[in-house]
C-alpha cells in the first residue's frame, strides 16, 4: 500500500522551480506552452493550498522502486510539481478515468479545488457520465446549493501520427453541455492566463491543450495573471474576411492570412479562446465589418463549433453577410495513421486560403 508521505524529491530543472514567495521567477521572457501551463499550476498551487492535481502519470513512478516524477505528465506539463508539493497534492492515480474525474468532481464540492488530468480527450468515453450527468448538473439540479469548482485538463488534436483513438477533438461535444465551460488556448500567453482563470472559476471547466502546441514558444509574464473566460482575442485585424479559428488552427489561419495579404486580401483572425462561454459579440461585430466568415476547426464537421458559429452568424448577422459562410474542418471520418492521410485530414493554410478566396475577390494588390 503506497504511503502518502513520500520524501520530497529534488525538483528537476524547470521554469517553475522552487522560489521564495512573492519573488518573481527571473526567467527568460519567452517560454513554451508546456512551461506556461506548468507555471500556472505551480503559482496557483502556491497561492491556494486547496488546489490538488491528479491524473495518470502526472508525476510518475508511484509505487515503483525507481525514479519518481518520472514523466511529470504524458507531455511533461506537471514535471517538478511533485518535488515542491508532495504526494498529497500531486496525486498519481490508477488507470480509471471515471474514478479520477469523478473523485475530482466530488472533492470540488467538498472544499478542495482539484485540477484533474484526462490524458487524452479520447478517454472521455470512460468518464463521460461524470462530465455529462454529474458535474455540469449539480448547481442546477440542486437549486444552486452545490458548487463544483473543478478544472479538467485534457490533450486533444491530431498531427503527430497517433491515429484515431488518440487524436480526436471533442471540444464541440462538451460545448453542447450547459453547466460546463470549455477553454482552448492557442498560445503560451493564453495558456497561462486561461488556466489560472479556469482554476479560479467556480464552475466546472474543461481545458483543452493541443498536442501540437506544447513546444510553441511565446512571451509570458512571470507574475500570475488571468484572462477572462468568454473574451475572444483579435489576433489580426483586416477588412475583407473574418476568420474564426481555435487552438492550433489559429496559427494556421495567421499563416494563411499572411499569404493572402500578398494576394491583396486582408483578413481578420479571431481566436475565441473559449467555446463556452463564446464571445459572440466580437465575432458578430467583425462580420458586420467584413461581411464574410470562414470558421476553421479541426473537429469533424457535423454538429460542431464551426456549425454553431455559422448558425449564430446566419441568425444574427444575416444582413451583413455578402457571401456564404465557409467552414474549414476535418472531414466526416476518423484520424488515419499514415502521415500522408493524416495530413490530408487536417485543415492547413492552403485549405484556409482556398476557402477565403472562394468568397473574396482579391482587391487589386
Partner 1 sequence: MIELDRDQLISAYRIMKTIRVFEDRLAVEAATTAMAGPLHLYSGEEASAAGVCMNLDARDRIYSTHRPHGHCIARGLDIKALMLEIYGREGGICNAKGGSMHLADPALGLMGANGIVGGGMPLVCGAALAAARLKTGGVAVGFVGDGGSNTGQFLESLNFASVFKLPAIFVIEDNGFAETIASSWACAGDHVKRAEGFGMPGRRVDGFNVCDVYDAAHEAVARARRGEGPSLLDVKLERYYPHEQGISDAMRLPNHVAWLKANSDPITLLRTKITSAGEISESELSAIDKAVDVLIDEAVAKAQSAPPPPVSELLTDVYHAYP
Partner 2 sequence: MPSEIYGLVIPKYGMVMTEGVIAKWHLDEGDIVNEGDELVDIETEKVANVYESPHAGVLRRKLVPEGRSVPIGSLFGVISAPNAEDAEIDAYINAFESSASSVTATSAGGTSAAVVDIPGGYIRFLKLGDDPAPAAVLVHGFGADLNNWLLNQGSVAESRSAYAIDLPGHGGSMKNPKIATIDEMATALLRFLDAKNLQSMHLVGHSLGGGVAARIAIEKPGLVKSLTLIAAVGLGREINFPFIKGLIEIDRRKDMRNLLETLFHDPALFSRDMTMGVLNAKRIDGAMTCLKSIAESCFAGGEQTRVLRSELVQLPMPIQVIWGQSDRIIPPEHAANLPKSIRVHLLEKAGHMVHMEKAAEVNKLISHFIAAN
Active site residues: 166
Residue 65 contact, options partner 1, partner 2, none, Cβ 5-8 Å cut-off depending on partner type: none
Binding mask 17-56 for partner 2 (x = CB under 8 A): ------xx-x-xxx--------------------------
DSSP 88: T
Binding mask 249-278 for partner 1 (x = CB under 8 A): ----------------------------x-
**Angstrom distance (rounded) from CA 148 to CA 140:** 11
Q: In Å, what is the CA distance from 26 to each residue of 69, 206, 221, 244?
A: 24, 30, 10, 35
Residue 202 contact, options partner 2, partner 1, none, Cβ 5-8 Å cut-off depending on partner type: partner 1
Q: Is 234 in the site for partner 2 (CB under 8 A)?
A: yes
Which member of 18, 29, 64, 141 binds partner 1 (CB under 8 A)? 141
Which member of 226, 266, 348, 354 binds partner 2 (CB under 8 A)? 226
**Angstrom distance (rounded) from CA 9 to CA 172:** 40
**Angstrom distance (rounded) from CA 258 to CA 24:** 36
28 versus 322: smaller Cβ distance to partner 2:
28
Q: Is 147 in the site for partner 2 (CB under 8 A)?
A: no
Q: What part of residues 160-179 is at the interface with partner 1 (CB under 8 A)?
A: 178-179
**Angstrom distance (rounded) from CA 204 to CA 150:** 5
Asked if residues 253 and 327 have their Cβ atoms less than 8 Å apart, the reply is no
Q: What is the three-class DSSP state of 234?
A: strand
26: phi > 0 → left, psi -120 to 50 → alpha, else beta; which? left
Site residues (vs partner 1, CB under 8 A): 1-2, 4, 50, 52, 88-89, 91, 93-94, 96, 98-112, 114, 126, 129-130, 133-134, 137-147, 178-179, 181, 201-203, 228-230, 277
Amino acid at each position: 500500500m503506497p504511503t502518502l508521505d513520500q520524501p520530497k524529491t529534488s525538483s528537476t530543472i524547470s521554469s517553475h522551480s522552487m522560489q521564495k514567495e512573492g519573488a518573481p521567477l527571473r526567467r527568460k521572457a519567452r517560454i513554451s506552452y508546456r512551461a506556461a501551463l506548468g507555471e500556472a499550476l505551480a503559482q496557483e498551487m502556491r497561492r491556494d493550498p486547496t488546489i490538488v492535481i491528479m491524473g495518470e502519470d502526472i508525476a510518475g513512478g508511484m509505487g515503483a522502486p525507481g525514479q519518481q516524477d518520472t514523466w511529470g505528465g504524458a507531455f511533461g506539463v506537471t514535471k517538478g510539481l511533485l518535488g515542491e508539493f508532495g504526494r498529497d497534492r500531486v496525486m498519481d492515480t490508477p488507470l480509471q478515468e471515471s474514478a479520477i474525474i469523478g473523485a475530482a468532481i466530488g472533492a470540488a464540492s467538498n472544499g478542495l479545488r482539484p485540477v484533474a488530468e484526462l490524458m487524452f480527450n479520447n478517454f472521455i468515453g470512460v468518464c463521460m457520465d461524470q462530465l455529462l450527468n454529474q458535474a455540469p448538473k449539480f448547481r442546477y439540479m440542486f437549486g444552486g446549493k452545490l458548487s463544483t469548482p473543478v478544472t479538467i485538463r485534457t490533450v486533444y488534436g491530431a498531427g503527430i501520427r497517433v491515429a484515431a483513438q488518440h487524436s480526436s477533438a471533442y471540444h464541440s461535444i462538451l460545448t453542447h453541455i450547459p453547466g460546463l465551460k470549455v477553454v482552448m488556448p492557442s498560445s503560451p500567453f493564453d495558456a497561462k492566463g486561461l488556466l489560472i482563470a479556469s482554476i479560479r472559476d467556480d464552475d466546472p471547466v474543461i481545458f483543452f491543450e493541443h498536442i501540437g502546441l506544447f513546444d510553441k514558444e511565446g512571451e509570458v509574464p512571470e507574475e500570475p495573471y488571468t484572462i477572462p473566460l468568454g473574451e475572444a482575442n483579435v489576433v489580426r485585424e483586416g477588412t475583407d474576411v473574418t476568420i474564426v479559428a481555435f487552438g492550433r488552427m489559429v496559427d494556421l489561419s495567421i499563416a494563411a492570412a499572411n499569404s493572402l495579404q500578398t494576394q491583396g486580401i486582408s483578413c481578420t483572425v479571431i481566436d475565441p479562446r473559449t467555446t463556452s462561454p463564446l464571445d459572440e459579440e466580437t465575432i458578430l461585430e467583425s462580420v458586420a465589418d467584413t461581411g464574410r466568415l470562414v470558421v476553421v476547426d479541426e473537429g469533424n464537421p457535423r454538429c460542431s463549433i464551426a456549425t454553431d458559429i455559422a448558425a449564430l452568424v446566419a441568425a444574427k448577422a444575416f444582413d451583413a453577410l455578402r457571401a456564404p459562410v465557409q467552414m474549414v474542418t476535418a472531414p466526416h471520418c476518423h484520424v488515419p495513421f499514415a502521415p500522408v492521410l493524416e495530413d490530408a485530414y487536417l485543415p492547413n493554410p492552403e485549405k484556409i486560403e482556398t476557402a477565403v478566396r472562394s468568397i473574396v475577390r482579391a482587391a487589386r494588390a
